[in-house]
Chains A and B, each alone.
Chain A
Amino acid sequence: MRGLDWAIVFAYLGYIVWDGLRRARGTVDIEGYFMANRSLPWWAVGLSVMATQLSAITLIGTTGQGATDGLRFVQFYFGLPLAMVILGVTLVPFLHRAKVYTAYEYLERRFDARTRTLTSFLFLLSRGMSCGAIISAPAVVLSAVLGVPLTMSVALIGVPTVLYTVVGGVQAVTWADVKQMVVIVAAVIAMAVVLIMRLPVPLDDALAVAGAAGRLQTFDLSFSLSNPYTVWSGIIGGTFLMLSYFGTDQSQVQRYLTARSVDEARSSLLMSAYWKIPLQALILLLGVLVFLFYVFQPAPLYHNPAHERAMRAAAPATYDSLLTAYTAQTAVRREAATEIATARAAEDTQAESRAIEAFQASEREAAVTRASALAEAGKVVSGPTRDVNYVIPRFVLDHLPVGLVGLFLAAVLAAAMSSIAAELNSLSTATIVDFYRRRVRTDASEAHYLTASKWSTVVWGAFACVVATFAATLGSFLDVVNRFGSFFYGSILGVFLLAMIPRARGRGAFYGLIAGMATVGAVSLFAPQVAFLWHNVIGALVVVAAGLALSPREG
């Protein structure tokens, strides 16, 4: 990182915070603070929906996955456009016309207070913890690649975000999201252009090399309950996951409740549906281009610098022998890749087939060496050594020109901040509207609730930063919370589906929700091979079935 790169990062941070703070003007009540007086245009809400979903770990982890695994991860999102259309037709008009602050408030009007309290509490529990995780994941990576203490990288992400979210409320969050989305897309496109320009062979030939390594295989039509990356998991499981996320998670519902009208709320979701798969494919393709870059340039054995340092210090002989083997294998791979391009230019199909075979053999050998290198590093650092999240940051710092490094770092911060800001804002909304105003102080002034909302955002922000700082020590506890979170995601969707069935009653919704969560818990415990994407399908269907069975028939 050079001076210009840091200047870009601080210019970005300064502008986002300044712009957020000035949005505070004119906010006198919680309708303005949490709902922007339901006045925002569809395109700003749409960009905010996309920026909230795209976290920093999506940006660096998904590109890393593109480099190591290829395009197949995009199948995960195949259900998203369908889910957005379904929500636009069904749930969005219900929630928007009800003029509620939270999705769970609607459940009290439709069913009863205990269903609202339970769903809102489950949201606070899971999102409160995940907020810490979405700060800590990029903070850990930035701390390792920039060589700064973890507390500093947590502060770099957390402090500006908390500041503009507390002061400016949802207006600041949404308008910051718009700018952050622009920064993210600009960085991804700029990096893709630079990578294509640096290819030593024509793009068509380079893509043939990527294809030979299986990086351009998107569609897997096999049916497997344990593999989340197949067309069927994506379309069926993905649709239920996205229905749960965009339809019942307050961090997303609040985005489109701020839109001017039902039609504008629908359009904002449809905008996200329009761009999601192309954008996700572009992000994965960036990873594939990084893979190609390392095919034609010397590739690092370890992407995480901490692993390299640890191995050099603790097991130098093993490190040297692994490095020698990997360097030799990747040199053979480079030669074979160049041979593929030469044979294609000469239209010599036999030579091309031979070169592809040689390339695939060396690619397999290099993959085996890297797997054993990571296993050896695991013994030294005694912890998990999956380094897919380090592929892109390491590449950026080692190989991108000055200026672009700063833009990439600004994009990572933008991706992290946009997700965290929306979550803090929605956590505060649920705390104040579903609990404080509903149960603790039911008749205070608007000014009191506005102050309480700001303090609630401060507390959630501080909590998220503390969880992020201690995420390494809290590791297994956070895993438990995240797994627990998957138990009720689909089940909450089931309650909202019940809400649209006229016969369903409060008793059915409440006990149906508990039955759904218990079933998913049992599936997770006794059939761990079932991929988490299917948990949402199971949870939602059990809640609807149990809810209807427990709703007394009338007449």
Chain B
Amino acid sequence: MSQRVRETILRVMMMQVIALLVLWFLQQRYPR
């Protein structure tokens, strides 16, 4: 596996963390 692919995997995981944090923020800020 090339260095480029390893870096891409890291970027993918960071994006998921950011997306989940945004969704968590929406749920906490605007509760039922």
Contact = CB atoms under 8 A, between A and B. Distances in A.
Contacts of A208: 30
Contacts of B29: 207, 211
Contacts of B2: 263
B12 A219 contact: no
Nearest to A278: B19
Contacts of A167: none
A266 interface: yes
Interface string A72-83: 001000000100
A324 B30 CA distance: 31
A266 B13 contact: no
A213 B32 CA distance: 6
Contacts of A213: 32
B1 A89 contact: yes
B30 A274 contact: no
Contact of B23 (A74, A89, A211): A74
Interface in A59-108: 71, 74, 81, 84-85, 88-89
Nearest to B32: A214
A216 B12 contact: no
**What is the predominant secondary structure among interface residues of chain B facing chain A?**
helix
B27 A219 contact: yes
A81 B10 CA distance: 11
Interface residues of B, number: 22
**What is the predominant secondary structure among interface residues of chain A facing chain B?**
helix
B32 A81 contact: no
A211 B30 CA distance: 5
Given A71-B23, A216-B27, A216-B30, A81 B12 contact: yes
A347 to B, nearest CB: 16
A537 B32 CA distance: 33
A270 interface: yes
A219 B22 CA distance: 12
B15 to A, nearest CB: 5
A370 to B, nearest CB: 19
Given A216-B26, A218-B24, A263 B4 contact: yes
10 contacts: A71-B26, A81-B12, A81-B13, A84-B12, A216-B30, A218-B23, A266-B1, A270-B12, A274-B8, A277-B20
Given A84-B12, A88-B9, A277-B15, 14 more contacts: A71-B23, A81-B16, A85-B12, A89-B1, A211-B26, A213-B32, A216-B30, A218-B26, A219-B23, A263-B4, A263-B5, A266-B1, A267-B4, A270-B9
Interface of A: 71, 74, 81, 84-85, 88-89, 207-208, 210-214, 216-219, 263, 266-267, 270, 273-274, 277-278, 281
Interface of B: 1-2, 4-5, 8-9, 11-13, 15-16, 19-20, 22-24, 26-27, 29-32
